[in-house]
Amino acid sequence: MTGKTHLACGIFIGSSLSIYYGEDIFTSFTIVSLCGVASLVPDICHFKSNIGRKLFPLSLIIRTIFGHRTFTHSLLFLFLIFWGLKAIEAPEPYLVSIIMGMLSHIILDMLTPRGVKLFYPINISVKMPFVFRTGGVVDLSLSTAFTAITVVLWWKDIYRLFL
């Protein structure tokens, strides 16, 4: 999937989590932002991705050591991030938004023909039974759908403020 689709999905999930946790505007904004950024993090292993270009030296090192769609797209990576967030005692809404954003990325990449090395370091590619080309019509449609649903969620939330 493209970075736009990952980001649109991350913002959608973050928006849903902010409604679920029902926090103040600052916390809601933080949840949405963390989830959106976290939805891009697994592509740190690809130095031509949005996050890979911003953190090029780190991206190149990770790509050289692990390759693309391996360690950063695995349950092991998710567990290590979860453990790190628990170690620093991240508030639950922030921890959940980061993990869910990253998980959304991995699931979306499982919809591509290449799949992901979900059980890394075991070298098995995992993909869904139905796959779609990155940048194709389905990718664009998912991005559009996530964006539209997010706008509806935000609109309903804003509308409630004025009632």
Predicted structure pTM score: 0.91
Taking only the tens place, the pLDDT of each residue in 93-113 is: 999 999 999 999 999 999 999
Taking only the tens place, the pLDDT of each residue in 29-50 is: 999 999 999 999 999 988 888 8
How sure is the predictor about 83, in pLDDT bands with cuts at 50, 70 and 90? Answer: very high
Q: DSSP secondary-structure letter at 146?
A: H
Give mean pLDDT, residues 55-64.
89
| Statement: residue 89 has pLDDT above 80 | yes
Number of H helices, E strands in the chain: 7, 0
> Which pLDDT does position 160 carry in this prediction?
67
Give mean pLDDT, residues 48-57.
86
Listing DSSP states for 56-67 in one string gives HHHHHHHHHHH-
Phi, psi of 116, deg, nearest 5: -135, 160
> Which pLDDT does position 46 carry in this prediction?
86
| Statement: residue 140 has pLDDT above 70 | yes
**pLDDT averaged over the chain?**
92
Question: Positive or negative CA dihedral for 68, 71, 72, 73?
Answer: positive
Give mean pLDDT, residues 24-29.
91
Give mean pLDDT, residues 66-85.
95
Taking the C-alpha atoms of residue 163 and residue 151, their distance in angstroms, rounded to an integer, is 19
